[in-house]
Amino acid sequence: MIKFVNICKAYFAGELETKILKNISFEIKAGEFVAITGPSGSGKSTIMNILGALDSPTSGEYLLDGADVSKLSDDELAAIRRNKIGFVFQSFNLLSRSTVLRNVSLPLIYAEVPATTRDEIAKKALRAVSMPEDRWHHFSNQLSGGQMQRVAIARALVNNPALILADEPTGNLDSKTGQIVLQTFKDLNKKEKRTIILITHDLEIAKHADRIIRLRDGEIVND
């Protein structure tokens, strides 16, 4: 499903080159639950941005379902982000004065899905993350941190993406709530066969995945 081939990323300031990623290669099959981990400055965020079609490598190939993402136009990249990738962020990124149901429905509104259809899809996604129905019409700022993150995961599911990309999804949560969110990812992976890539600096969090790719100084040191 995903193939990185000799991915390099560098930034330039005049003639000064700063290498962030150095010949990164790996493959991820459909249905895998993979954690990418490493200390600050190891290149995790850069890999996440390339995986999410938010940034392009300086050299190398990124293949997603056989398409070379590194060669796509801006419009094609936007379509990849909209249709193939579900994003879950540390900060939730919910609209505080919108209901749970509307927050989850937003990607479908942008995709011009009819109202009756999108409500059913949003409800299905909320059930998939075990969000209680009595919270669906609450505003997101009336929820606990763990509930907000489950809403964010449900929102990532509504377009039925091929890949769920989670960036430090437990970073703003206490350890008990973080375990609940991680179990949600495990359930989505095992029960719904979702492909999940978890980006985290915390090795204990990474151990919840079935496979761990460890980075240091822009290189893979263990897979």
Interatomic CA distance for residues 4 and 22, integer angstroms:
12
Q: Give the pLDDT confidence score for residue 118 in this predicted structure.
A: 93
Interatomic CA distance for residues 85 and 151, integer angstroms:
16
Of 65, 62, 108, 85, the closest CA to residue 165 belongs to: 85
Q: What share of the chain is helix, strand, coil (3-state, %, to 5)?
A: 40, 30, 30
- Class for the domain spanning 30-59+81-222: alpha beta
Backbone angles phi, psi at 119, to 5 degrees: -60, -40
CB 214 within 8 A of CB 222: yes
The CA-CA-CA angle for residues 134, 137, 143, to 5°, reads 75
Query: How many Cα atoms occupy the beta-carbon half-sphere of 156 within 13 Å?
Result: 29
The set of residues, in sequence order, having a beta carbon less than 8 Å from that of 41 and lying 6+ positions away, is 217
Q: Give the pLDDT confidence score for residue 67 in this predicted structure.
A: 87
Scanning 111-195, the segments in alpha helix (DSSP H) are 115-128, 145-157, 175-192
Q: Does the pTM exceed 0.75?
A: yes
Interatomic CA distance for residues 22 and 134, integer angstroms:
49
3-state per-residue secondary structure call for 80-104: HHHHCEEEEECCCCCCCCCEHHHHH
Q: Give the pLDDT confidence score for residue 110 in this predicted structure.
A: 84
Q: Give the pLDDT confidence score for residue 70 in this predicted structure.
A: 80
Domain boundaries, the chain: 30-59+81-222
Q: Give the pLDDT confidence score for residue 116 in this predicted structure.
A: 84
CB 5 within 8 A of CB 25: yes
Q: Give the pLDDT confidence score for residue 115 in this predicted structure.
A: 86
SS3 of 1, please? coil
b/e per residue 5-36 (b: at least 16 CB within 10 A)? bebebeeeeeeeeeebbeebebebeeebbbbb
CB 118 within 8 A of CB 108: yes
Mean pLDDT per 10-residue run, the chain (223 residues)? 95 89 96 96 94 93 90 88 90 92 92 89 94 95 93 93 92 90 93 94 95 97 95
